[in-house]
Amino acid sequence: MDAMQAILARKSTRSYKEDPIDEETLRAILEAGMAAPVGSGAYDSLHLAVVQDKALFSQVNTAVSDMIFKMLGKRMDKSFGAPVMVFVSSKPAMVPGMEYANAACVAENMAIAATGLGIDSIVWAAASAAVAQSEDLLEKLAIPEGFTPLLCISLGYGAGNEKPRKHEIAVSFLHGEKDCVIRV
């Protein structure tokens, strides 16, 4: 699958089989994340924590459920059942907000690479937000001091046949044409 096909085929998968991802494939996905553009080339400001432990998944899911309950007053299971979670953490950036852009580039590179390798994914923030609020989970995930988890990407083989959604984003061309919407 070429890059454009992988980009267009990428989708958020919310239900996974228990089948593990082989180490070579997982390393290729992580390598793609490390190839992402990072502001000022500050790759040392980022950290990846790869989780494959079911007991730790359960603790993260409980923390997410508790956080959502505090915000919305209802319990939600967001475990998805993926066999791998990768937390993208960052130190604060010199340019405000750059750490979020860097984390997003890393996570999206991994998501596109995963799609190209036949692995499904979902990039989500709730797990990282829940971990950031828990000293215990920060320690268990070996998040270095001074780093904050910003995004999580869950990886695995999807249990369903979800199709990529069509999205529209308004685009303004600034060479004299009116605003338009590109439809894919």
What's residue 10's pLDDT? 95
What's residue 85's pLDDT? 97
Q: 111-133: per-residue pLDDT in tens? A: 999 999 999 999 999 999 999 99
User: What's the number of CA atoms in the CB half-sphere (13 Å) around residue 124?
Assistant: 20
Q: Take residue 80 and report the two structure tokens written for it.
A: 């998805």
What's residue 180's pLDDT? 63
Spans of all domains in the chain:
3-183
Q: 21-51: per-residue pLDDT in tens? A: 999 999 999 999 999 999 999 999 999 999 9
Helix (H) or strand (E) holding 27: helix 23-34
Intervals of the chain under pLDDT 50:
none
Which pTM does this prediction carry?
0.92
Superfamily of domain covering 3-183: NADH Oxidase (3.40.109.10)
